[in-house]
Amino acid sequence: MSGLLKSSIGRKFAMALSALFLMFFLLQHFAINILSVFSADAFNKASHFMGTFWAVQYLLQPVLIFGVVFHFVMGFVLEIKNKQARQISYAKNNGAANSSWMSRNMIYSGLFILIFIVIHFIDFWIPELNVKYIGGDMSGLNPEGNFRYYHELQEKFEPMWRVALYCIGFVFLALHLLHGFNSAFQSVGANNKYTKGLKGISKVYAIGLPLGFIFIALFHHFNH
């Protein structure tokens, strides 16, 4: 792995693999959260399974955390390396004519998304760890004997400021994905006769998924 990361191509390839992994996780995360719009019971059961199944907690969760940290660290490393490699400034090279706004500002959208992820962890992940591993309560039940997940989700999206923050975060996620999706597939060599189809799928994913998360946040805010 260390040898792979020493070359520019290797770093981009590793970055792309981590991006594809995180995009798959986002899709899975959305699939569970959208259940909360249609059925509180289905959302509660899915959340309880994901929150207590040993393979998810002790195998997939550490891999996910590593993937998030690796992706953002590698993103900053690539940005630094790219700046060091530039011999001509954007003003002289007319970088705006050779690349999109999104590709030139991936580091900034990524930085905002990183801040957003930290806030999301503080809102959901850390309290969940506290209840399960510090409080020792793996039941997922509230004092009334019902699953607590759906109620906790609605409570989080009651304040308008938090809903607005999440909506802004998902807009930045869409901007990041619009370039990142295609870039990831190109970096792993998927630049062939299916490229046009991948571009279409990337737009649907990059715009549709964040819009779906925004819908979930707004739904629970207005239906609390």
In CATH, what number is assigned to the domain containing residue 184? 1.20.1300
The pLDDT of residue 75: 86
| Residue span of the structural domain in which 140 resides | 4-84+103-222
Mean pLDDT computed over 203-221: 96
Find all residues with CB under 8 Å of 11, minimum gap 6, and list them: 4, 5, 74, 77, 78, 81
Could you give the CA distance from residue 49 to residue 46 in angstroms, rounded to a whole number? 5
Tens digit of each residue's pLDDT (9 = 90 or more) over 143-167: 889 999 999 999 999 999 999 999 9
Of 127, 217, 107, give the one whose Cα is nearest residue 164. 217
pLDDT tens, 37-89?
999 999 999 999 999 999 999 999 999 999 999 999 888 888 887 777 665 55
Mean pLDDT of 198-215: 92
Instruction: Provide mean pLDDT across the span 89-97.
Output: 51
Identify whether 218 is part of a domain.
Answer: yes
97 lies in some domain: no
- Please indicate, yes or no, if residue 38 is contained in any of the structural domains: yes
Is residue 93 domain-resident?
Answer: no
| Residue 126 within a domain | yes
Q: CA torsion 123→127→129→133, rounded to 10°?
A: 180
**What's the half-sphere exposure (Cβ side, CA atoms, 13 Å) at 97?**
5
Number of domains within the chain = 1
Q: Quick check: is 206 in a domain?
A: yes
CB 35, CB 46: distance < 8 Å: yes
